[in-house]
Amino acid sequence: MPDNTIVQDTRTGKNPEASKEMVPPDHLTIKDSRTNKEYPVPIQNGTIKAMDLRKIKVSDDDFGMMTYDPAFMNTASCQSKITFIDGDKGILRYRGYPIEQLAERCTYLEVAYLILHGELPTKTQLADWTHNITVHTLLHENVKKFMDGFNYDAHPMGMLISTLAALSTFYPESKNVHDAATRKHQIHRLIGKVPTIAAFAYRHHRGLPYVYPDNELSYPANFLSMLFKMTEKKYVVNPVIERALDILFILHADHEQNCGTNAMRSIGSSQADPFVSTAGAAAALYGPLHGGANEQVLRMLREIGSKDKVPEFVKRIKAGEGKLMGFGHRVYKNYDPRAKIIKETADKVFEVTGRNPQLEIATELERIALQDEYFMKRKLYPNVDFYSGIIYEALGFPTEAFTVLFAIPRTSGWLAQWEEMLLDPEQKIARPRQVYNGYDTRNFVPIEKR
């Protein structure tokens, strides 16, 4: 017979059956049909604590009730003050500031400071912060040698992930994760070095000599210089391109508990150092359903080939032949606000670089999908990755490098979430439960009898 547990929400009606003793004002009353017992469970911030369910038992030796939530569809794993998303309304804010205002008025380094410190920096704070990041842009020469070992066609994300992990061996003091000054030092190192690793991966891939950081340039301009400088004495960056890249960095800086950030918190919760934790977060980002989608979008647009082939392609997606990459989101059930800003930024970039021919196919794909019943019913809208790759391509980046461009700015978000997790007294090592549904005890069978 199935369980029949009755749940009542006291915020929406009276609850005469709940015990009057020790009952918090906002609570759910859960009635267990197996025992006929009732349990008032406190409600806080629209959630109940999964641990409060443990007291629901059929007998003293029962382990107690758990929740089952594969893929964390409806589970808050932490409390956070960093990023707010309202997926139905298409709202994204860092530390309370709307993404639109930050993208218009700030630099990425200013936003990274905000995300990590909770407040926008004063002029002096920004100057110190920029200095601290800039003095950490160089890589140890042995890191360069390590990167030389990769094959010429190694994927830049594989190189980034491995090199981030390798940095842990260069800075063993980073293990001291409970020391605030040590944490701060590693945060400066990581934000400073990630663009250098990314640029070296690109140069290695192209068989070009590495370009060392130029600390007179801004964060995005230095990155562009390390990527594209040839024999000229000083790389001259087009200010429109520099600003566009900075905006893209701002848009990608944090996105609350996504797959990569969850990996960062999970690895960091074992008190692993921030280099290996960041490597793990980057590995999660690499997947095609997450940050790897920007690379897949470009491959998809190339496969479609021309605007007139879009309806046929959409038909194939609806028939279950793959996904429309760059569409859909676990949280946004409306237009991703980042995609809107990226589309506007693309127009400015194309004035300098010329129009990317893939844009026409992407715009047609969006137009058709947004009026199609399949996508409307499932609330599937373009996400951040739909248009970002088109800009990256126009800026001269190879398709394989797109996800690296996501990882560079996300490093500040990962580090902010990592530090918040370490300082949160409610957090412990992340260790989910499971529902075991395999065999009960079996006796060993020798190999000759199997």
Active-site residue list:
290, 329, 385
Residue 54 is which amino acid?
R
Q: Are 251 and 111 in contact (CB under 8 A)?
A: no
Q: Give dist(CA 254, CA 411) in Å, integer.
A: 8
Only segment of 86-94, 154-162, 301-309, 376-384 that touches ligand CMC (CB under 6 A): 376-384
- How buried is 448 (Cβ within 10 angstroms: 0-12 exposed, 13-18 middle, 19+ buried)? exposed
Report if residue 333 touches ligand CMC, rule: CB under 6 A.
Answer: no
Q: Give dist(CA 107, CA 111) in Å, integer.
A: 6
Residue 367: C-alpha distances to residues 289, 376, 391, 426 (Å): 22, 12, 19, 46
**Among positions 6, 76, 289, 423, the unique one binding ligand CMC when judged by CB under 6 A:** 289
**Among positions 188, 323, 333, 348, the unique one binding ligand CMC when judged by CB under 6 A:** 323
Report if residue 338 touches ligand CMC, rule: CB under 6 A.
Answer: no
**Among positions 166, 237, 245, 325, the unique one binding ligand CMC when judged by CB under 6 A:** 325
Shortest spacing between CB 349 and ligand CMC, in angstroms: 20
Shortest spacing between CB 91 and ligand CMC, in angstroms: 15
**Among positions 245, 253, 324, 394, the unique one binding ligand CMC when judged by CB under 6 A:** 324
**Among positions 383, 388, 403, 412, the unique one binding ligand CMC when judged by CB under 6 A:** 383
Which residue, 65 or 161, is less far from ligand CMC as judged by CB? 161
**In sequence order, what DSSP letters do the residues of 158-174 get, joined into one string?**
HHHHHHHHHHHHH-GGG
Residue 324: C-alpha distances to residues 98, 253, 288, 320, 429 (Å): 28, 24, 12, 10, 36
Which residue, 242 or 254, is less far from ligand CMC as judged by CB? 254
- List binders of ligand CMC among 224-283 (CB under 6 A): 255, 258
Q: Are 131 and 191 in contact (CB under 8 A)?
A: no
- Tokens at 350, concatenated: 């194309």
**Among positions 290, 307, 333, 348, the unique one binding ligand CMC when judged by CB under 6 A:** 290
Query: Tokens 């369910």 — which residue?
Result: 53
# binding residues, ligand CMC (CB under 6 A):
20
Report if residue 327 touches ligand CMC, rule: CB under 6 A.
Answer: yes
Q: Are 43 and 27 in contact (CB under 8 A)?
A: yes
Report if residue 147 touches ligand CMC, rule: CB under 6 A.
Answer: no
**In sequence order, what DSSP letters do the residues of 30-74 get, joined into one string?**
EEETTTTEEEEEE-BTTB--GGGGGG--SSTT--------GGGTT
Only segment of 91-99, 129-137, 234-242, 320-328 that touches ligand CMC (CB under 6 A): 320-328
Report if residue 83 touches ligand CMC, rule: CB under 6 A.
Answer: no
Q: Are 273 and 177 in contact (CB under 8 A)?
A: yes
Shortest spacing between CB 331 and ligand CMC, in angstroms: 8
Which residue, 87 or 357, is less far from ligand CMC as judged by CB? 87
CA 259 to chain centroid:
6
Shortest spacing between CB 116 and ligand CMC, in angstroms: 20
Measured between its terminal Cα atoms, the distance across the chain in Å is 37
Report if residue 380 touches ligand CMC, rule: CB under 6 A.
Answer: yes
Shortest spacing between CB 398 and ligand CMC, in angstroms: 20
CB-CB neighbours of 47 under 10 Å: 12
Report if residue 34 touches ligand CMC, rule: CB under 6 A.
Answer: no
Where does this chain bind ligand CMC (CB under 6 A)?
255, 258, 289-291, 293, 317, 323-330, 378, 380, 383-385
